Amino acid sequence: MKRTRARARTRPAATGRSATEQGAAGGTAAFTPDALTVAPRHLEVGGDWTASFAVTGFPREVQPGWLQPLLTYPGRVDVALHIEPIDPVTAAQRLRRQLAKLESGRRYTQDKGRLLDPQVEAATEDAYDLSARVARGEGKLYRLGLYLTVHAGSRDQLTDEVAAVRSLAASLLLDAKPTTYRSLQGWLTCLPMALDLIRMRRTFDTAALSAAFPFTSPDLPPPDPTSVAAPSGVLYGYNVGSQGLVHWDRFALDNHNAVVLGRSGAGKSYLVKLEALRSLYRGIEIHVIDPEDEYARLTQAVGGAYVHLGAGDVRVNPFDLPLRTRPDGRLSAPRDALVRRSLFVHTVLSVLLGGTPTPADRAVLDRAIAATYQRAGITADPRTWTRPTPLLADLATVLQQTKDRAATGLADRLHPFVRGAFSELFAGPTTTRPEGHLVAFSLRDLADELKPIGTLLTLDTVWRHVSDPALRRPRLVVVDEAWMLMKEPAGAEFLFRMAKASRKHWAGLTVATQDTADVLSTDLGKAVVANAATQILLRQAPQAIDEITHAFNLSDGERQFLLTADRGQGLLSATQRVAFQAVASATEHYLVTTDPAELAAYEEQDSRYPRNDDSVSIELTTEEGDLNDSPIDDEDSLDLGPA
């Protein structure tokens, strides 16, 4: 056994070495081990025990990412690939010699009347195929060396780790041989110095080499090799099983909708906010319906707009017509704008009054809505649509003046929303129409009785913005705690229509809720889930797991995972199912966390050390210019001149 020691020494500047050279020497010394013990089959590097192996046998057929089990081994294993290209002329000569050897061996076996060796037959077939592809220029040959170095804290642990790694390699049909009496060279070969001191290599072609690339993972879709752009999609976290990255692009699917289902405290809002923040990096516009003021810090940090519904100066008028402003300043609207708005007012009244109106009540409301618009001077003539729209109080007045018992009863039921305790939200024209890369509507200040209608009105405001053909860009509409709207039949139907039509406007709807049973207990709720190409299930309560299992056809393992998942762990179900753990950087965690203890600590820290209030703005541009300058291309729109 040979024992050597290496210690870092410093020299004075008088020796002629520059300060830069001395700094480099000091930096190198920081990585030099204090002691190095060399044994025939292992090394002791400081307090670390290592053993190295060279892979000499490989499987005949492999799939992309087949080395992933070695990279995700729970212990510490260094995997080194040394690649050396072979000149095409040399490659052709070697292939000819190899084919000559194989054919000579086959003919000798046949002449002696012996049985053919299946391995020789397979090797001959592969050699012919490879020679043809190299001749056609469809691939090249490379010399590849694959080496492993196993680390452990003691000699006994090293023995166990070596046995486990060799068993794992054998399961991949890899023959790992120890670098006996060359343990130092094996350790150096696995260091990031591009030194192959073992030189036990195998010839690979281009396809086999690309499949052996160590960073290929089935959980991370590889980018287009012909494109220099960054890969699309959002990083959700890492795979719980393989430790690979879970990277997903909703806008690459047939629809861009997503549902996030999980019980309270499972990390549902955390994941949704994390996805929204990372989508902003890609230039995607985000609209959020926030029931609990959870998006305030995030919106402020990225320079977005935050609207507090329920504040004294914020009002929303459900009678507003969907008018659009052209780049030349003129207004336009769909040809059936008045009819669409009248139907939406029916939906608003259904939510306000609770339940679906009877046919008689619906007929009364239809006549009253038409009369309310006519009193404001708005008729079927598009030139009148620029006039001030009526208010909910005007509709109540029309109903009260109608000499009909049903109309009077409906006016009385609207009294709390017109002149009563809940009238502040509808007491005047719409006060704000915010725009920006992130717009969040807070419902926290609204009374519980007004949160369903607040969600509906906000969705309508967002949808009018999303469906505007003058603003063509990818968007996400996030509805957090969607159960508040889903419990109302009219609200659930509006959400369903939005889920069906969002794809046509380059938008994706994100529905997040903790009341999974309420969503799956209705046909409209099931339809919203079915129209989401991306489905994310977080930890579920035992009382709801049976319905979740039936609705999503979960296996026993997936069912148990959802019952025992930690916070932030979930099951991403799309073209495949992946169990993942959401991860965030320190800055992202500060912006998206809702843990009361952490928020209190952050507030105390901010009071002692105030943060910089400068916000980050995000501009959405394309190669052709700003997306806000896109021309209107809507055949159903009308120019609105003066009335």
Model confidence band, residue 105 (pLDDT cutoffs 50, 70, 90): confident
pLDDT at site 228:
43
pLDDT at site 428:
85
**Average pLDDT value for residue range 527-548:** 89
pLDDT at site 166:
93
CA distances from 593 to 314, 483, 599 (A): 27, 22, 8
Q: What percent of the chain has pLDDT over 90?
A: 21
639 or 8, greater pLDDT: 639
CB-based burial label for 499 (10 Å; 0-12, 13-18, 19+): buried
For the chain, domains (ranges, CATH) are: 2-8+34-86+140-211 (no CATH), 231-314+435-608 (3.40.50.300), 316-431 (1.10.8.730)
330 or 620, greater pLDDT: 330
Q: What percent of the chain has pLDDT over 70?
A: 85
CA distances from 179 to 39, 147, 189, 304 (A): 11, 10, 11, 59
3-state secondary structure of 491: helix
3-state secondary structure of 232: coil
248 or 620, greater pLDDT: 248
**85-94, 411-420, 451-460: lowest mean pLDDT where?**
85-94
pLDDT at site 145:
93
* Residue type, position 30, single letter: A
How far is Cα 581 from Cα 566, in angstroms, rounded to an integer? Answer: 9
How far is Cα 123 from Cα 125, in angstroms, rounded to an integer? Answer: 5
How far is Cα 318 from Cα 391, in angstroms, rounded to an integer? Answer: 8
How far is Cα 370 from Cα 247, in angstroms, rounded to an integer? Answer: 51
91 or 234, greater pLDDT: 234
Measured in whole angstroms, how far is the alpha carbon of residue 10 from the centre of its chain? 51
- For residue range 577-612, list pLDDT tens digits in order: 888 999 999 899 988 988 888 888 888 877 766 655
pLDDT at site 544:
86
**Average pLDDT value for residue range 219-226:** 50
Asked if pLDDT for residue 380 goes beyond 80, the answer is yes
How far is Cα 463 from Cα 456, in angstroms, rounded to an integer? Answer: 10
How far is Cα 331 from Cα 329, in angstroms, rounded to an integer? Answer: 7
Asked if pLDDT for residue 624 goes beyond 50, the answer is no
User: Quick one: which of 138, 144, 151 has its CA closest to 213?
Assistant: 144
The pLDDT mean for the chain works out to: 80
Token pair listed for 539: 């930890």
Beta bridge partners of 50: 43, 151
The pTM for the full model equals 0.65
Q: What are phi and psi of 537, to 5 degrees?
A: -110, 120
**13-27, 162-176, 371-385, 548-562: lowest mean pLDDT where?**
13-27
pLDDT at site 501:
86
Contacts of 183 (CB under 8 A, 6+ apart): 38, 39, 40, 41, 42, 43, 50, 51, 52
